[in-house]
Structure formats: structure tokens, C-alpha cells
């Protein structure tokens, strides 16, 4: 093990266009982009190097006539300052990270997205330690497995969208550049959609129906609105799909009182979307409605 000296790399991001002639950029447009650059680097560092290193991203403003630029320094070091990671070919891990992301030259994730131009990937073939080949229409694109890992990472892709697609969608911003040493990568307004994140299909997890007892804590008489229920531990909203029950409610054939209990067929669906875990509840059928009015149960017996 050796004492690791933090590595420092520099690059520059420049937004250009008529709206930036005064060397000013709306902070509501700039702040998300700056945060996204930090997020992209931190998440990419985690994907590529795991928990062996951490990165810190610093910024300072830089300007030239008719544009708005930001200088970045990326400081990468080992956890607690000690690691053996940099004893091997990864000795320039901070520089490699910028290359893999595409912040240094025309390769990396940004280069891959530009080559793909939103075309659907038919097949991915992994070769050797880090090589990968993508089949797109009648073309094969060679890349690395590390870049594929970033391409598949929703957090990284969301960050790239905020860095490139969203600022270039603003009126008067028509150019985005990344400069690293002598390497300059430019993306024009008409190319911005190549870097957006397409809609991600939901991933179903659970879809089950069970008989349960619930207490209605908020009732709505507006057709289509959700009721709020409690199962004794948790509260949740549910759509009432039982048409006969809903009709009886609308026609005032059913009366309610506080703490009434319902036995229902409850359908619970769970899935993972691009924003995280989602759960939806539906009341498929109301089996029983028990009034909250309590009565003493007596052992009645009918005489014949």
C-alpha cells in the first residue's frame, strides 16, 4: 500500500450563442448543468472504480466575448488517502475518468452517443477484458465495457442530458464545447437530441390481489378520484374500480360513518420507473361494508 497523492485534472465547458453575448447565463439554466457535471463525474467514478476512490469537482468562471465558460478541476483520491489502485496501469485514473466520460477528446460516452444518434442498439458483444461491440442497423461500433456501463446508467445519462440537451434547448444558446488540454469537443444545437435520455420502460415487480380489511380515512364523491384508506398500519390512496359500489355511493344508497370498515379485493402493483420505486393500489371489489357502530353480541336463540 502506498500513500496516494490526490490527482488533479482540468477541463473547460463553454456555452455559446446570441443569448450569451453579455457573458451572462441565467442561473436557473446554469446551476442544473453545473450540478449535473459533478453528478456525472461522481457516479462515473463509482461505476468505474467502485469505492476505491472519490472525486471532488471545483469550478470557477471564465469568459470570452459572446460566450459563457466554466473551468473545472477534478480532484481524485483514494478513500482515507491510501490505496493500491494507482500502482498499476490506472495511475492516471482521474484523466482516464474524463476520457471514459468523453470530457477529453471525441471518444468516451459523449462520442458514443454522437455515433449512435438515437438509433436502437440491436446487440452488444463483450470481447476480452474491456472491449465491446455494438450492432446498430448495418453498422458495428467498437467501444469499451466501461463506456457501456455508463451508457446504461440512468443517473449518468440524466446528467449528460442536463449538461448538453437542456441548455442547448434554450433560446439563443446554440453551441456547447468541452476543452481538455488541446482537445475540443463541440456539440451544436441541432445535435442536442442525440444526448437526451429516451423514455425508459417500467420494470414490473409485483402484481397481486388479496382480500383485506381497510378503513376509509378520506372519501371523495367525485367520480374517478381516489379514496384514502388505512390498513391499521399504513395509509395509502386507492382507485375504487367496483362500479356497482361506486354507483351506489353516487346514488346515496350507501351511508358512511367514522371508522367504518370495508372488506375488499385489493390489487397492489409495484414497478421501477426512471424516478424510482412506484406502488399503485386499486379496490377491485367491495366485499363487505361494516359499520363502525358497535353492538354487544348476545347469544340470541329463536324459539320455534
Contacts of 221 (CB under 8 A, 6+ apart): 249, 250
Separation of alpha carbons 298 and 263, rounded Å? 24
The predicted pLDDT at position 18 comes to 85
Phi, psi of 167 (to 5 degrees): -60, -40
When the pLDDT of each residue in the chain is averaged and rounded to a whole number, the result is: 82
pLDDT tens-digit profile of 212-234?
Answer: 999 988 887 776 678 999 998 99
Separation of alpha carbons 86 and 63, rounded Å? 35
The predicted pLDDT at position 176 comes to 92
* Secondary structure of 255-275 in HEC code, one letter for each residue: CCCCCCEEEEEEEEEEEEECC
pLDDT tens-digit profile of 250-267?
Answer: 888 888 777 889 999 999
Judged against a pLDDT cut of 70, whether residue 170 lies above it is answered with yes
Q: Which residues of 170-207 are buried (b: 16+ CB within 10 A; e: fewer)?
A: beebbbbbbbbeeeebebebebbebbbbeeeeeeeeee
Q: Which residue has the higher pLDDT, 64 or 101?
A: 101
Domain ranges of the chain: 2-116+144-195, 203-290
Q: Reply yes or no on domain 203-290 having CATH 3.30.505.
A: no
Contacts of 277 (CB under 8 A, 6+ apart): 205, 270, 271
Judged against a pLDDT cut of 70, whether residue 298 lies above it is answered with no
Judged against a pLDDT cut of 60, whether residue 84 lies above it is answered with no
Average pLDDT over residues 287-300: 70
In terms of pTM, does the model score above 0.75? Answer: no
Q: What is residue 82's three-state secondary structure?
A: strand
Average pLDDT over residues 37-65: 79
Confidence band for 169, pLDDT divided at 50, 70 and 90: very high
Q: What sign for the dihedral angle of Cα 162, 164, 165, 171?
A: positive
* 263: nearest Cα among 243, 237, 245: 245
Average pLDDT over residues 75-100: 59
Confidence band for 113, pLDDT divided at 50, 70 and 90: very high
The predicted pLDDT at position 281 comes to 94
The predicted pLDDT at position 91 comes to 47
Confidence band for 43, pLDDT divided at 50, 70 and 90: very high
Amino acid at each position: 500500500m502506498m500513500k496516494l497523492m490526490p490527482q488533479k485534472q482540468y477541463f473547460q465547458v463553454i456555452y455559446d450563442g446570441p443569448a450569451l453575448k453579455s457573458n451572462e447565463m441565467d442561473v436557473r439554466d446554469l446551476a442544473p448543468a453545473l450540478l449535473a457535471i459533478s453528478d456525472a463525474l461522481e457516479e462515473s467514478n463509482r461505476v468505474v472504480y467502485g469505492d476505491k476512490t472519490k472525486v471532488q469537482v471545483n469550478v470557477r468562471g471564465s469568459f470570452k466575448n459572446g460566450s459563457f465558460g466554466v473551468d473545472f478541476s477534478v480532484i481524485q483520491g483514494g478513500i482515507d488517502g491510501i490505496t493500491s489502485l494507482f500502482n498499476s496501469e490506472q495511475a492516471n485514473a482521474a484523466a482516464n475518468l474524463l476520457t471514459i466520460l468523453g470530457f477529453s477528446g471525441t471518444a468516451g460516452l459523449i462520442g458514443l452517443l454522437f455515433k449512435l444518434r438515437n438509433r436502437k442498439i440491436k446487440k452488444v458483444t463483450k470481447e476480452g477484458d474491456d472491449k465491446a461491440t455494438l450492432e446498430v442497423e448495418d453498422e458495428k461500433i467498437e467501444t469499451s465495457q466501461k463506456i457501456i456501463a455508463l451508457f446504461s446508467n440512468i443517473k449518468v445519462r440524466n446528467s449528460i442530458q442536463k449538461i448538453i440537451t437542456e441548455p442547448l434547448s434554450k433560446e439563443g444558446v446554440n453551441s456547447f464545447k468541452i476543452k481538455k488540454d488541446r482537445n475540443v469537443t463541440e456539440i451544436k444545437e441541432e445535435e442536442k437530441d442525440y444526448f437526451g435520455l429516451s423514455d425508459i420502460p417500467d420494470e414490473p415487480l409485483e402484481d397481486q390481489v388479496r382480500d383485506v380489511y381497510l378503513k376509509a380515512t378520506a372519501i371523495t364523491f367525485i367520480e374517478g378520484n381516489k379514496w384514502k384508506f388505512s390498513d391499521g398500519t399504513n395509509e395509502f390512496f386507492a382507485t375504487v374500480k367496483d362500479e356497482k359500489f361506486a354507483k351506489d355511493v353516487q346514488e346515496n344508497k350507501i351511508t358512511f360513518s367514522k371508522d367504518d370498515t370495508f372488506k375488499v379485493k385489493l390489487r397492489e402493483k409495484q414497478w421501477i420507473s426512471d424516478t424510482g420505486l412506484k406502488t399503485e393500489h386499486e379496490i377491485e371489489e367491495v366485499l363487505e361494508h361494516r359499520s363502525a357502530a358497535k353492538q354487544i353480541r348476545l347469544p340470541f336463540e329463536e324459539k320455534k
